[in-house]
Amino acid sequence: MRFAIRTLLAAAFAAIATTNVAHAQVRLSESTSYKLERIDEGDVTAIAITGAILPPMADDLAVLLHSIPLDRKVILDLDSAGGEMEEGNKIIALVGQERKRRHIDTLVWYGHLCASMCIPIYLQGEKRHGAALSVWMFHPAHKEDSPFPSSAATATILSDLVSYGMNREWLEALDRRDVFSTPGEFWISGADLYAQGAGVITDLLPAQRRLRLPVIAFDPQIQPR
């Protein structure tokens, strides 16, 4: 009976993971715009970054960050299939400058995606929160007019990822599996990324979420009949 239960649970989690990847692939194919949203709660401000990393995202993000008082902690909440390297590098430079003035963490929430250029941006967080059932994707770099990997561009990106805190040995193991030398995508869950010591997620959010129940105010005017 225990074996049967474990088998059913494994199948259920496999189905959830497959669904997350399928949804992520849809977002990847439809990622042609973006949205930035500011959310204040307590002494923390979250900036939800959804969609493609495209101009003028860096300028819009700079305006938002400069509007937030310096005594507030900032979390960049990412759900992105990636985008343009040049714009991504502008965001990385912006976050680097902002971290000299304030505390900035990054987050990839349950069921959300961080792929391609999203990953080096995520790595800029002082603490990097990621859900166990988040979705991540790596791929080699290539020129815009070619589907084939560019070894020089890929080497530059991998070197940057290591300088941002990723585990060099983990990346080299992927490289030995031709992840970065052949056309294609490497998909992985947040739980596996953390368990394998990739150096991406520093604070893992567990698979099980416990929600706070709402507090219903007592109205003395309401009496039994």
Query: Which residues is 51 bridged to in the sheet?
Result: 34
Query: Regarding the domain delimited by 31-202, which CATH topology (the fold level of the hierarchy) does it fall under?
Result: 2-enoyl-CoA Hydratase; Chain A, domain 1 (3.90.226)
Residue-wise pLDDT for 33-72, tens only, equals 999 999 999 999 999 999 999 999 999 999 999 999 999 9
**Average pLDDT score over residue span 114-140:** 97
pLDDT at 4: 39
Percent of the chain with pLDDT over 70: 80
CA distance 60 to 80: 16
Q: Closest Cα partner for 198 from 223, 161, 143?
A: 161
**Average pLDDT score over residue span 141-165:** 89
Is the Cβ–Cβ distance between 115 and 200 less than 8 Å?
Answer: no
Give the predicted TM-score (pTM) of the model: 0.81
pLDDT at 102: 96
